[in-house]
Amino acid sequence: MKKLVVAAIAICCMGAGGEPLSTERYIAGTITQVSPSAVTITSAQKTVTGKIDPKSTRITINQQPAKLADLKLTAHASAELCLDDSWVSIDVHPEQR
């Protein structure tokens, strides 16, 4: 019975193609690219590019509402990525020292 439960859990954690679902939705790092349709944030471990959805992406600077045009290269940001590879939120803030 234990093996059956473990197998069921393993199957539930797999995507339709047998690939594990991504659990890395959050990133904190430096904005390295900004375009009208996408933003790239780079941390020490990874680089993540997400699409900008004008209707659902929330952009803030120091937790105050902002626009895509307000994002600057080399600014420090924390962001959350949605399952469709678009940004849910991007918050630019002073780098923690």
pLDDT of residue 17: 41
Residue 2 lies in a domain: no
Range 12-35 average pLDDT: 67
Residue 60 lies in a domain: yes
pLDDT of residue 71: 95
pLDDT of residue 44: 93
pLDDT of residue 1: 56
Q: Which domain holds residue 69?
A: 24-92
pLDDT in tens, 33-86: 999 999 999 999 999 999 999 999 999 999 999 999 999 999 999 999 998 899
Residue 10 lies in a domain: no
Q: Within 10 A of 27 (CB to CB), how many other CB atoms are there?
A: 20
How far, in Å, CA of 26 to CA of 78, rounded? 7
Structure tokens at 68: 């895509």
Q: Within 10 A of 64 (CB to CB), how many other CB atoms are there?
A: 9
pLDDT of residue 59: 97
On whether the CB atoms of residues 28 and 80 are closer than 8 A, the answer is no
Residue 1 lies in a domain: no
Return the higher-pLDDT residue of 26 and 20.
26
Structure tokens at 13: 């954690």
CATH of the domain at 60: 2.40.50.140
Range 2-9 average pLDDT: 44
